[in-house]
Structure 1
Amino acid sequence: MSTFKDPSAVSSYQQTAQAKVPGMAALHRMTHILLAESVPPTGEVLVLGAGGGLELDAFAKAQPGWRFVGVDPSLPMLELARETLGANTSRVVLVEGLIEDAPMREFDGAACLLTLHFLDPDTRLQTLRGLLQRLRPGGVLVIAHHSYAPEARLRWLRRSAAFASIDGVLDERDEASVAVMADKLPAISEEDEAALLEAAGFTEVELFYAALSFRGWVARRPLFIGPGEADKVQG
């Protein structure tokens, strides 16, 4: 994810992300609705992969009583988030790092958008367990990112690239970008995504968003952790 430390990539991130992710504003609105099922009017939300600040800004505007912790490994992207939030920055604590660097306390809800597809399955599982540990019982997690079966990756990534192009036609540069993404993104299938959430200890795993190569799920930390599930919460 060194791209997100490159000044030109950071400066253009918000524009390019909104062009590449179908219905990004609607995704933020849906995520807010799902979080609000668990987060009270004065609750606290953990946002992993918060660089850029688009989702933090959307949540803060929709819920003036919520407080946030935003975590991201890229300091330049966190600075962009600070600029995006403006006056709402006072309600947000921004942390440079990974899930391990997030405060170890029980948040009312958590979101991780356009981030987990960068992680291999083992690292992703550990990250999901870290999110579970930082949710109160009954707390909701919302995630969304690229997800497709490995054998279908080129087909779906080409469709997403066509969506992001001006005329829906891929040129050589687009094809090269697709090839790089197909090679470097450790994206996995919908079935494996749901299985990872369950292996991390989440329940009530539901698909809520599907847009070309992107998928989104909502899941919940159980109200009660049985003896066999305790190891998942402890990591």
Structure 2
Amino acid sequence: MALYHKSLYVFDQHRPIPALVRNYEPADIPALIQIQQESFPPPFPPELWWNEEQLHHHIRLFPEGALCIEIDGQLAGSMTALRVDDSARDEDHPWESITDAGYIRSHRPQGGTLYVVDISVRPRYRKLGIGKCLMQAMYDVVVHLGLTRLLGGGRMPGYHLYAGERTAEQYLNAVVEGELKDPVITFLMRCGRTPVRVIPHYLEDEESCHYGALMEWNNPFVSSAR
């Protein structure tokens, strides 16, 4: 296994700050759980935060997909992925089933698609572009492993404001057209992801009315990517 280790700078306005993206390890588990707690405070269900067993599974089953970013010796964010079959792009799957509720025992070592399980950034670091750095690191993993694409479902937290007047598909189209801005979908588009379709009952998320937007990033070096 080739470990990921990338030094870079993030920016606090015009001030560059050294950062490091690397694979997370067992010693990082307490900090990773704290990141989840800070990133998803109540009313987010605490039982959906990472637990130690899940994180040990990530590190053991697919360490290449277990990434974190470190600033001044402190973990500021993390991102987790697993490999799935390319056919996942054409299936309506809830997050819980495709990720094994975050335990990733559904990981397919020969799968051609990298599937995003989670991305979390501590609130005090969110103006530094850390989420984009983590996403770019996962694109690096896709290219390094020669996979077809990165795939994952994005929350649509702005949709509940328009659910009475638009379908989920119409809301997503309005975001893509620039008519509306969604905190998650717009961020993912800025990171290079493109929407595939809306998936109903993707995640227990009242703000998204339980919908998710399946979004992908295709490996530009693999001709079979759609």
Name the TM-score class by shorter chain: 0.3 to 0.5
State TM-score, norm by structure 1: 0.33
Q: Of the two structures, which has the highest relative contact order with CA contacts closer than 8 Å and spacing of 6 or more?
A: 1
State TM-score, norm by structure 2: 0.34
More helix by share: 1
